[in-house]
Structure 1
Amino acid sequence: MLACTRSLTSSVTSALRLLRSNQVVVSGHVQRCLSTQTDGEVRIVQILKEKFPLASSLKVVDISGGCGAMYEIHIESSEFKGKRTIQQHQLVNQALKEEIQGMHGLRIFTDVPKQ
């Protein structure tokens, strides 16, 4: 009985730590809740809004669990019109040149708004 109580207490304590750290477990993986943005996400959004003022959609997510090592960017802008995907991604990379130096990885998804 004592071992069962300790195990339950340990599980509850772990769950509370995850809630306090703004993370959840999904399919065995720890993920951050999306209710708040990290400082890195906010900084990247600001940079991209300045570089692509005509962006109709912009989403930046820290997919490294909140540590800032890897981001996923979804951006839709008319400024990409007439450019190949590789050119669109190069524009995003250029805009984030300084930030990319401290990252492990970056996923970029670009699109032109459907008129």
Structure 2
Amino acid sequence: MPVSILVVDDSPMARKMLIRALPPAWDVSIEQASNGIEAMDAYRKGKVDVMFLDLQMPEMDGFEVLDTLRHEDMNCLVIVVSADVQEEAQARARSMGAIAFVRKPVDADKIHKALKDYGIEL
């Protein structure tokens, strides 16, 4: 059964690059969202196993998504993908439930390492 992936970023190019960086042998179904509101709508409509989440987005940012997931007791693995690499942002994202923080621009090695570090075997 494929792993359900949700890629959330306001940049279509960033979403495309992240999708290309996913392990090629990984059996996945991929959905995309351009902001946090779309992300939460997609999450509520179906199962999401892994969410790749940008922090800086219009309408509803990544921190608001993490907060909503936590307060509504929603369960998925969240990997933050952001250019905001300040230690404070990383610590805040992790404290809010993110399992990993990957710096933009993403590449396959960074994604593989984040998945492997959390025990997701591909």
Rg larger in 1 or in 2?
Answer: 1
Instruction: Identify whether the pair has TM-score above 0.5, normalized to the shorter chain.
Output: no
TM-score of the two chains, using structure 1 as the length reference: 0.30
Whose strand proportion is higher, 1 or 2?
1
- TM-score if structure 2 supplies the norm length? 0.28
